[in-house]
Structure 1
Amino acid sequence: MSISLKPIAEQVMVITGASSGIGLATALHAARLGARVVLASRNEPELEKIAERIRREGGEALAVVTDVSRREDMQRLADRTAEAFGGFDTWVNNAGIGIYGRLEEVSDEDHHRLFEINFWGLVYGTQIAAAHLKPKGGAIINLGSVVSDIALPIQGMYAASKHAIKGFTDAFRMELMAEKAPISVTLIKPSAINTPFPQHARNYLDEEPTLPPPVYQPEDVASAIVHAAQHGGRDYYIGSGGKLMSSLNKRIPSLMDWGASRSGKLESSGPVRRPREGSLYGPATDGSARGDLSLQARRSLYTGAQTHPMTTAAVLATAGVAVFALFAAGKRR
């Protein structure tokens, strides 16, 4: 069966981890384009604020308090969506958390909790969404990372969870293809994104972690997610830096390992000034899409080229004509 996806203005989109970062940016972007959005996270006050903001701007939104690590919560999220909107067309598994610390120093409890949120929450969401979408079709969009392809010291279990997400997503896609289910399954691989991720992460370090450059804005990820909801696609990288790192890791893995081991630690913004626990066991206290690196962050031309290839080709063609005209004019002088 072929996959046919609706225009975003005709869709109901479920988004986990919607109270901050990429999830929040995606919810706002999709709602402004006409989608009805269902916001899921553990942070009830922020969810309600965001839902009300969307309604004030003329959109439709439903807030459902959800702990993605609990299958029953994820099933309730799907059921509440069906009650409110008759179903959904796109399900975005975005919720995730990080831990900064050496693998030997992080507790087993914290490692297990990270996997419950990052991996098992995504597994539950994917399975529940697929059961709903098989009769009519739609899109499942999973948030991986550039570290789905490479590993990093000091974020080892986070990288492991994103590797697991890639393996699960690819295998699930194949199984749906084998049974000719009309569902698009996409993996999004962001590079460093200017969200509150470092502040929400559990921190074992003696320094305040920050993101390494180049850093991109969450709106780039939101654009890629909305594009995948309408057009499908297997993988999307956010930021040319991440794509480059992934490509180099495939070609010169030993050298990449050596470079990462020599770095020994991640970027730091000075002494620890925030609670070390982060939001591993409870909701974050803030609800912002962007982090504190807005001055350093950029928009990704590479991502724009992936999601708008015809526009990019037209721009490049126009630029080529202009360059040729300048060259020809120079030769006539």
Structure 2
Amino acid sequence: MRLTLKPIDAQTIVITGATSGIGLATARMAAQRGARLVLTARDRDALGRLCEEIRADGGDAVHCVADVADPAALKQVADLAVRTHGGIDCWVNNAGVSIYGRIEETPVEDHRRLFETDYWGVVNGSIAALPHLRRNGGALINVGSALSDRAIPLQGPYSAAKHAVKGFTDALRMELEADDAHISVTLIKPAAIDTLYEEHARNLLESEPLNPAPVYAPELVAKAILHAAEHPVRDLYVGSAAKLFSLSETFMPRLTDYAMERTLTRWQRAGGPKRQRGDALYGPAGDGRTRAGRHRFVRETSLYTEAQMHPWISAALVAGFGVLAGAAIARGWVRSGEPRHTWHEPHPDRAVERRRGDADLGYGRRTLGHNAKPAWLATSEREVTFRE
């Protein structure tokens, strides 16, 4: 049975972690495209402002305050979606938080709390959504990370949680497909994104944290999420850097270990002097922005991500370039495998004539250096030797 999904303007979409970063960018983009939204986060005021903003622009949005670590709270979010819009077409598990610091120096309670949000939040959201998605079909979209495939130093708990999200998502997908359930399950794997990620993370370092370049715009992730809401796809990498992370783990894991030990341990400490601030590990920490603005250069596009979302167009472009290249070679516009300059060994008789001609013209005295081999002889033999 071929799995088809509704267009965005016909969907009811639930988004967790909707008040900042990727969640906020996704909510605004989905509203602009006509989706009916059910938004959830821990910050009541920020949720209220966002829903008012969307409705002022002609959109449809309701909200429910919830902590994704609480399964009962997420069940209430699902019930609100059914009560206000009649069902759920897409559920996006986006809420997450990180910890910067060495694993040995991370308190166990902080480590556990991160898993409550980043891993159990995905599990709780999925369990809340599945009964409704089974009823009418739809999409379950989990926001993982490039670190779902490749761990990095100084973010060990976050890397571990995102690995767990990948394992859970892949296993759930196979079980649903074995049941012939009309549900698409997608894992989104962003590279470093210009959100409030660093500000919201608990910082155990001696300086402010900084994500390594390249850094991409949160709207790219939002675009990938909405693509997965309309098109069944297994996973999507946002940014070519995310795919390179995955390939490095597949083909040269030990070399990547050495490289990251020498670079990322320093780079992630390069955010400037440490300052007193809150974080979002145990509660909201001032939401309402999509971008942090801490990075000097942010990539607004990703050709690799576009190619994933539009594979047939990409294949057609590659084929077109191949046809043009073939035509250019056939017409002689481009040489094909033919060297521009080749050496032709002189015929012996011509070499003799050349030596005689040089002597007649007085060239016989031309030498290279002191008592060197004559130039005409060096040229014909393609070597220069000096005589004692």
The normalised TM-score by structure 2 is 0.81
Match of 2:345 in 1: none
For 1:228 and 1:5, the matched residues in 2 are separated by 9
Match of 1:26 in 2: 26
Deviations 1:145-174 (A, max 9, x none): 110011111000000000000001101111
Shift in CA distance, 217/322, structure 1 to aligned 2, threshold 3 Å: farther
CA distance 1:324–1:163, change in 2 (3 Å): same
- Helix, strand or coil at the partner of 1:279: coil
Counterpart contact for 2:207–2:272, Cα < 8 Å? yes
Match of 1:270 in 2: 272
Map of 1:292 onto structure 2: 293
Q: CA deviation at 1:204?
A: 0.4
Compared CA separation, residues 28 and 122, structure 1 to 2 (3 A): same
SS of 2:19's partner is: coil
2:4–2:232: 8 Å Cα contact kept in structure 1?
Answer: no
CA distance in 2, matches of 1:320, 1:61: 48
Q: For the pair shown, which has the larger CA radius of gyration, 1 or 2?
A: 2
Q: Which residue in the other structure is 2:307 paired with?
A: 305
Q: CA deviation at 1:4?
A: 2.1
CA–CA distance in 2 between the matches of 1:236 and 1:30?
A: 18
- In 2, the alpha carbon distance for the partners of 1:294 and 1:58 equals 33
Change (3 A) 1:273 1:311: farther
Show the counterpart of 1:256: 256
Amino acid at match of 1:172: L
Distance 2:91 2:267 in 1: 32
Superposed, which structure 2 residues align to 1:39-54 within 5 Å?
39-54=39-54
Cα distance in 1 for partners of 2:60, 2:94 equals: 20
**Whole-Å separation in 1 of the counterparts to 2:328 and 2:60:** 50
CA-CA distance at 1:127 after TM superposition: 1.3
2:185 maps to 185
1-structure distance, mates of 2:324, 2:195: 38
Runs of 4+ in structure 1 over 3 Å off: 310-332
CA distance in 2, matches of 1:140, 1:36: 16
Q: Distance in 1 between matches of 2:62 and 2:2?
A: 30
Query: Deviation per CA, 1:13-60, whole angstroms, max 9, x where unpaired?
Result: 000000000001111111111111111100111111111111111111
Q: Counterpart of 1:208?
A: 208
Name the structure 2 match of 1:123: 123
Partner secondary structure for residue 62 of structure 1:
strand
| Aligned residues of 1:148 and 1:189 also touching (Cα < 8 A) | yes
Alignment of 1:1-333 (within 5 A): 1-263=1-263, 264-267=265-268, 268-275=270-277, 277-293=278-294, 295-298=296-299, 299-313=301-315, 331=333
- Aligned partners of 1:110, 1:146: CA distance in 2, in Å? 22
Query: Which stretches in structure 1 are left out of the alignment for 5+ residues?
Result: none
Q: Provide the aligned C-alpha RMSD in A.
A: 2.0
Question: Would the aligned equivalents of 2:95 and 2:117 in 1 still touch at CA under 8 Å?
Answer: yes
Aligned mates of 1:283, 1:152 — CA distance in 2: 26
State the SS of the aligned residue for 1:255.
helix
Matched letter for residue 253 of structure 2:
P
Q: How many residues align?
A: 331
In 2, the alpha carbon distance for the partners of 1:270 and 1:326 equals 53
- How far did residue 202 of structure 1 move? 0.3
Shift in Å, 1:94: 0.3
Contact 1:154 1:266 in 2 (8 A): no
TM-superposition CA deviations, 1:157-200 (whole Å, max 9, x none): 00000000000110111111111111000000000011110000
Q: Give, as a single letter, the amino acid of the residue that structure 1 aligns with 2:310.
A: H
8 Å contact from structure 2 (residues 152, 260) kept in 1: yes
Which runs of no fewer than 5 residues in structure 2 stay unpaired?
335-388
Kept after mapping to 2: 8 A contact 1:3/1:138: no
Normalising by structure 1, we get a TM-score of 0.94
Rounded to whole Å, the distance in 1 between the matches of 2:115 and 2:70 is 12
